[in-house]
Amino acid sequence: MAAAFGLASPRTSPASGEAPRAVRPAAGIREPIWAQCLVDLPEALRQPGREFRSSLPFRGIATAALSRPSVVLASYEFEHNQDGPELENLTLALNELDRLMLPPGGELSFNSIVGPRLESRGFQPGLMYSQGKVITGVGGGVCVASTALYNAALEAGLPIVERWMHSGPTSYASPTRDAAVVFGAKDMRVKNNTGNPIWILTHVENGRARLSLLSMQPLPYRVALREVGESHIPFALEMQPTEEPEPTVIQKGHAGCNVKLVREFWSGSKLRKSEMICRDIRKPSPRIVGVPATGEAAPEVTIPGSLPEPVAPAPGDSSAAHSPVVEPLKLPGGETDKPAAPPLVMPGDTRP
């Protein structure tokens, strides 16, 4: 059975009680030749696979206290499109993940680390999906953090133990690349199948979020991600007669998808392994527009962007469709979030 995810409560250096910081040689002491070839961590985060000047140990089990990360396995950075309470919730979740250590063979549970999304813990009401509809609930925006963890784990080649898709499209990740979470129901779990500890480093600033996985040795392979299928199935436009004098959006509608994510492991130009991570299937939801009832056939209507939006439903438990992890497939050769504003054109392969 896999080792449990171990934590040390303080986010400080065991020796001094101070926050971890980069180790620099004292004045007058010359760095060894090999150390002069290393880059600082901020630069290495943009060059996965590069060795960097090590930091003091982050948070983790006592047996890892003598270990120091020196290689960036994967670093996933993206525009999160969050503000207000959603940004506050995202920041809280990333802070809980920051500087954690996952031991070899250990499994990380996003819900166990971030904990319940309660106002008493600082989480605020934000936008989220529930059965494909946008509602307001405490913790809206947390799924951006679980999505960052998911994508970094994908790029590092780590096994994905549990992942769920959203019940509607998101503005920050394409189908198969998002990860919905609901505390007590739907989790995001990954496993460390390497022989070394893995440290997590997070950062959110100026509309961008980044989650990096650090370790002691580079990956022995190159990871490539491919999306196969339809990542964007357009929604239909339906019109209904209403008593309103002007056209009104009754239901925004969202695009559907039928796409699978394939992960490949390469050594040079040779494909070593290929596996299907998940398959996301979501039916498109029509955009419904109310038009003034005239007793005649409703004409075609061009929907302006300034139409009044429907009132969001009352808060409730969020729900996401499950996108299961399946057995590896050999090939030849869910939830809280801020939803996308339709119509949404989903990209194909993103952030390999």
Average pLDDT over residues 315-330: 39
| Confidence (pLDDT) at 47 | 56
Report percent pLDDT > 70 for the chain.
64
State how far the alpha carbon of 279 is from the alpha carbons of 223, 342, 349, in Å: 19, 22, 14
Q: Report residue 281: phi and psi, to 5°.
A: -125, 120
Q: How confident is the model at residue 114 (pLDDT cuts 50, 70, 90)?
A: very high
| Confidence (pLDDT) at 81 | 83
Residue 307 has pLDDT above 80, yes or no: no
Q: What would the pLDDT profile of 229-283 be if each residue is shown by its tens digit?
A: 999 999 999 999 998 888 999 988 899 999 999 999 999 999 999 999 999 999 9
Residues 6+ apart with CB under 8 A from 151: 76, 78, 173, 177, 211, 351
The rounded distance, in Å, linking the Cα atoms of 271 and 264 is 7
Q: Write down the residue that tokens 């007058």 correspond to.
A: 28
| Confidence (pLDDT) at 126 | 93
* DSSP 3-state of 10: coil
Indicate the pTM of the whole model.
0.69
Residue 336 has pLDDT above 70, yes or no: no
Q: Which residue did the predictor score with more confidence, 132 or 179?
A: 179
Q: Quote the distance between the C-alpha of residue 68 and its chain's center.
A: 26
Q: Write down the residue that tokens 């995202």 correspond to.
A: 90
Average pLDDT over residues 216-227: 94
| Confidence (pLDDT) at 125 | 95
CB distance 337 to 140 below 8 Å = yes
| Confidence (pLDDT) at 38 | 44
DSSP per position, 298-349: PPP----TTSPPPPPPPP---B--B---------------PBP-SS----SS
Residue 15 has pLDDT above 50, yes or no: no
Q: Report residue 26: phi and psi, to 5°.
A: -65, 160
Rounded (10°) CA dihedral 267, 270, 273, 275: 110
| Confidence (pLDDT) at 299 | 54
| Confidence (pLDDT) at 22 | 30
Average pLDDT over residues 94-111: 92
Q: How confident is the model at residue 297 (pLDDT cuts 50, 70, 90)?
A: low
Residue 295 has pLDDT above 90, yes or no: no
Encoded tokens for 139: 């913790």
Q: Quote the distance between the C-alpha of residue 33 and its chain's center.
A: 38
| Confidence (pLDDT) at 225 | 97
Residue 39 has pLDDT above 60, yes or no: no
Encoded tokens for 340: 């996308």
The rounded distance, in Å, linking the Cα atoms of 286 and 299 is 18
- Mean per-residue pLDDT of the chain: 75
Element (H, E) at 111: helix 110-114
State how far the alpha carbon of 298 is from the alpha carbons of 123, 241, 242, 243, 285, in Å: 45, 8, 11, 13, 21
Q: Write down the residue that tokens 């060059």 correspond to.
A: 47
